[in-house]
Amino acid sequence: MILYPTIEIQNGRCVSLVRGRIEEPSIWHVDPVGKAQEFAHAGAEWMHVTDFDAMEGSNKNRDLIVSIIRGAGIPVQLGGGFRTRDRIEEWIDLGAGRIVVSTLAAQNPHLVKEIAKYHPDQIVLSVDVWKGHVMTHGWKTESSYTPEAFLEAFEGTPFAAIIVTDIDYDLRESDAALGVISAIAEKSRVPVIASGIVRTVDDVSRLRLLGEVSGAIVGRALFNKTIDLGEALREARPDTAHVAEFI
């Protein structure tokens, strides 16, 4: 299982959102590029970056995110506000390893299928689920799709992965079963990455033992220091002792 340590960017700073409230971020007083390099030193194979300002249509973090991509030492999976083909292809050209799409997939599924076929293994579909429906626009809008119907519409699309967030689980911070994510992972032919689940190393162990989940995004737990990345990486991949090279 692959862990994706995460940096979330707002106004040029690393932040963490409490219960998804973008207007009330907690600030992580670290250098984003330096933190990305720490992830690489710890042995991460990939990292994830979310640009919250891009969700609102702003390009203010562009130079910073380019610096992260070029300085991290590991490939970057980038999400946040990808609503056009031009912007997706711009960031692929700038060096992003993968691009995460969510709202665009609900609004224009044919375009997303076309982009995924043109850029195989570089497009990731994000599915945010709340009370049995797929949410869009940063968890603000409820679509008419159930997650099952939504994913069925993309059957055969060569996505690199599917990120699944059970928003109810993420917001309640409970020990509820991993029902939504495990059910999707069991049926999916595309690797499924769990989001909003990992708060401790025990959560990493539970996900790995499920067997169907191929990866997990780890963000708030790093911010809150409830998890040590090196330990979590070893738990996720106990069969390897790999540490990423960094120059």
Question: Could you tell me which CATH number the domain at 2-236 has?
Answer: 3.20.20.70
Model confidence at 173: pLDDT above 80:
no
Residues 30-66 have pLDDT tens digits of 899 999 999 999 999 999 999 999 998 999 999 999 9
Catalytic residue among 45, 51, 53, 128: 128
Model confidence at 175: pLDDT above 80:
no
Which pLDDT value is given to residue 165? Answer: 87
Average the pLDDT over 230-240 and give the result.
Answer: 90
Which pLDDT value is given to residue 23? Answer: 59
Which pLDDT value is given to residue 89? Answer: 97
In this structure, of 74-83, 95-104, 171-180, 212-221, the range with the lowest mean pLDDT score is 171-180
Domain extent listing, the chain: 2-236
What share of the chain has pLDDT > 90, as a percent?
Answer: 63
Which pLDDT value is given to residue 90? Answer: 97
Following DSSP, what letter does each residue of the chain receive, concatenated?
A: -EEEEEEEEETTEEEEESTT-TTSEEEE-S-HHHHHHHHHHHT-S-EEEEEHHHHTT--TTHHHHHHHHHHSSS-EEEES---SHHHHHHHHHTT-SEEEESHHHHH-HHHHHHHHHHSTTTEEEEEEEETTEEEETTTTEE-S--HHHHHHTTTT---SEEEEEEHHHHHHT-----HHHHHHHHH-SS-EEEES--SSHHHHHHHHHHSS--EEEE-HHHHTT-S-HHHHHHHH-TT--------
Residues 83-106 have pLDDT tens digits of 999 999 999 999 999 999 998 998
Model confidence at 19: pLDDT above 60:
no
Catalytic residue among 8, 51, 53, 170: 8
**Mean model confidence pLDDT for the chain:** 88
pLDDT interval class at 177 (50, 70, 90)? very low
Active site residue 8: yes
Stronger pLDDT, 240 or 149, i.e. the higher one: 149
Which pLDDT value is given to residue 13? Answer: 92
